[in-house]
Structure 1
Amino acid sequence: MASLRHVQTQGSIILSPEMFERLYLSPPTRAKGELRQMIGNPTPFALAGFIIAFSPLIFSFLGWRHFKGGASATVGAFYFSGGLLPILGAVFELILGNTFSACYFAVYGAWFLGFGANFSPDFGAYLAYSPDPNNPRLGALQPGYLSGQAYWALLMAIFSFYITICCFRTNICLVVNFFCLFLIFTFAAASFWLSIDGKTATTHRMQLAAGYIGFVALIVDLYALLSLLFLTVDFPVQLPVGDLSNVFPTCGSPAARRA
């Protein structure tokens, strides 16, 4: 039975499926060799990097404490916390055989790198759209640029929805987080297109909705990170994350074959 499978790591330590997905934010996988005995768990630092870059973006949507401008003040966090750390985490997750967590860490890490590049004049993301070469920032207000950003957000929304479905094999925290990300990117795409149509008030409401949903995701992510860190140091208190690893059968389980 799937619920009785265990994964051995680090010498004689045996991980149940529930413990595995709590440590790696991914369903249990079989990996050859002894890499899991030699390499530490990359999931906490990858998740922490995502949170550190994600939070100022959400706060800028909400406009708290006069923080606006798409979080351009924290572009360094987008590059290094949101881009570098998750992508490094994805590489190590791949080495450990955790394809699922490697996939979403890599994609969101790449998104943060691209998002940070939008704020960097050297990349010229909005320069090509500016009607005035001496004022490249005007390009960020042009329909062509805004529509491109909307399509990018839409594809990220679709990806986030796919990951949400897959997370029903992991835990409730991940399901809530990625569903919130799906909604955030959906509202972001809508806000770009509404901005093109000149619907400023509706655009602002869309951004606020994305901000409040993102704040929910931020709280869930911080909770999941603390749960991971507690497991990492074998803290006497363990935080539940709503394990779903045994709720939905695997495709090779007897229950799935009967269905």
Structure 2
Amino acid sequence: MAYAADAKESDSESSIRPNMPFLHQVQSVTITNEMFEKLYLNSANRVKGNLGQTFANPTPLPLLGFLIASTPLSCALMGWRGAGGGGAATIGTFYFFGGMLQILGAILEWIIGNTFVYIVFGSFGAFWLAFAVTLTPFFNAQGAFTANATTAAEKAAGIASFQSSTAFFHVCMGVLVFMFLICSLRTNVVFFTIFLLLDIALFLLAGAYWKAAAGDMQAFHTLEATTGGFVFILCIFGWYLLFAQLLRSVDFPLNLPVGDLSERLFVRRQKALKDAEDSA
């Protein structure tokens, strides 16, 4: 019987190491760079301590927060089933999933030493909070541009100024995401694709706001819907990446590929740096 064999094996190992209880024996497991990158969305870094083994992998949590905030927004931007309002109906998800979960995840990534994803999730957590505040009536962001308007023309001019100003925020985020896009060449194909689609979406949304400020509402709605399409596609990749991480977290036999790039690009330079560190 298998049970008897296991018992004999346990007795054998206990006799070899009598001073160490068998149930307390722990073996360390070394994971490859590819597996590290898949789990943490960050190329393997040398950090002091074993915090990555002490704490749970935090990466799926902020990724989940990003997806729950982004997916309904993409549907609203595309106007599916009569949705609209620029995502105002799901403002709670922007605060708690997009903002809170991503900032919490960023802090946890910082603790275990994953610099790249810590910056990514931290910046997007702040983005979602800023976006949510802009949509919150209490803060009255648009009202600052129309407070002194006395005529319909002055109010329209104030709204146009608000829309044009908002566009620059998305342009700046687009520049930041472009930097993330370049850095993600050291992670995996799925993560790179998410950044590529997101960068396009941010610049499209900025263009949509500028068209709205210019009074070209037809172009605004077209660009807004196109933005929603890009966001929806990147969310599909995001859900795939999240599912791959969750499967790995429970050691599920199904292993979804993500297209590892950590050992395919700039490998020679990384090897030289590693050899230099080892010899130091």
Q: Which residue of 2 aligns with 1:253?
A: 271
CA, structure 1 residues 113+140, in 2 after alignment: closer, same or farther (shift >3 Å)? farther
Check conservation: 1:84, 1:109, Cα contact below 8 A.
Answer: yes
Q: Which residue of 2 aligns with 1:42?
A: 58
Alpha-carbon separation, structure 2, partners of 1:140 and 1:253: 58
Alpha-carbon separation, structure 2, partners of 1:185 and 1:220: 17
1:146 maps onto 2:146 in alignment: no
Aligned mate of 1:110, from 126, 147, 154? 126
Alpha-carbon separation, structure 2, partners of 1:150 and 1:163: 20
Alpha-carbon separation, structure 2, partners of 1:87 and 1:183: 24
Deviations 1:219-253 (A, max 9, x none): 10000000000010000101000111111125443
Question: SS in structure 2 opposite 1:121?
Answer: coil
Aligned mate of 2:198, from 164, 178, 181? 181
CA, structure 1 residues 127+139, in 2 after alignment: closer, same or farther (shift >3 Å)? farther
Deviations 1:49-74 (A, max 9, x none): 11000111100111011110011111
**Which letter does structure 1 place at the counterpart of 2:137?**
P
Provide the aligned length of Structure 1 versus Structure 2. Answer: 245
Q: Give the TM-score taking structure 1 as reference length.
A: 0.89
**Which letter does structure 2 place at the counterpart of 1:69?**
G
Deviations 1:13-61 (A, max 9, x none): 1111100010001111111112112211110111001100011110011
Q: Which residue of 2 aligns with 1:119?
A: 135
Q: Which residue of 2 aligns with 1:16?
A: 32
CA RMSD of aligned residues (A): 2.2
Alpha-carbon separation, structure 2, partners of 1:111 and 1:247: 32
Q: Any residues of structure 2 matched to 1:44-59 within 5 Å, and which?
A: 44-59=60-75
Structure 2: which 5+ residue stretches go unaligned? 1-25, 276-280
Question: SS in structure 1 opposite 2:138?
Answer: helix
Q: Give the TM-score taking structure 2 as reference length.
A: 0.83
Question: SS in structure 1 opposite 2:259?
Answer: coil
CA, structure 1 residues 60+225, in 2 after alignment: closer, same or farther (shift >3 Å)? same
Mark the structure with the bigger radius of gyration.
2
1:168 maps onto 2:185 in alignment: yes
1:28 maps onto 2:41 in alignment: no
Check conservation: 1:49, 1:85, Cα contact below 8 A.
Answer: yes
Q: Which residue of 2 aligns with 1:72?
A: 88
Check conservation: 1:127, 1:133, Cα contact below 8 A.
Answer: no
Q: Any residues of structure 2 matched to 1:81-230 within 5 Å, and which?
A: 81-131=97-147, 142-230=159-247
Alpha-carbon separation, structure 1, partners of 2:230 and 2:27: 42
Alpha-carbon separation, structure 2, partners of 1:45 and 1:249: 29
CA, structure 1 residues 72+240, in 2 after alignment: closer, same or farther (shift >3 Å)? same
Alpha-carbon separation, structure 2, partners of 1:108 and 1:208: 22
Check conservation: 1:87, 1:110, Cα contact below 8 A.
Answer: yes
Q: Which residue of 1 aligns with 2:18?
A: none
Bigger share in helix: 2
Alpha-carbon separation, structure 1, partners of 2:119 and 2:243: 22
Check conservation: 2:190, 2:258, Cα contact below 8 A.
Answer: yes
Give the ranges of 4+ consecutive aligned residues of structure 1 lying more than 3 Å apart after TM superposition. Answer: 131-134, 138-141
Check conservation: 1:139, 1:145, Cα contact below 8 A.
Answer: no
**Which letter does structure 1 place at the counterpart of 2:66?**
F
Quick one: percent identity of the two aligned structures? 37
**Which letter does structure 1 place at the counterpart of 2:271?**
S
CA, structure 1 residues 139+32, in 2 after alignment: closer, same or farther (shift >3 Å)? farther
CA, structure 1 residues 253+34, in 2 after alignment: closer, same or farther (shift >3 Å)? closer
Aligned mate of 1:235, from 252, 256, 265? 252
Alpha-carbon separation, structure 2, partners of 1:43 and 1:31: 17
Check conservation: 1:17, 1:245, Cα contact below 8 A.
Answer: yes
Structure 1: which 5+ residue stretches go unaligned? 1-9
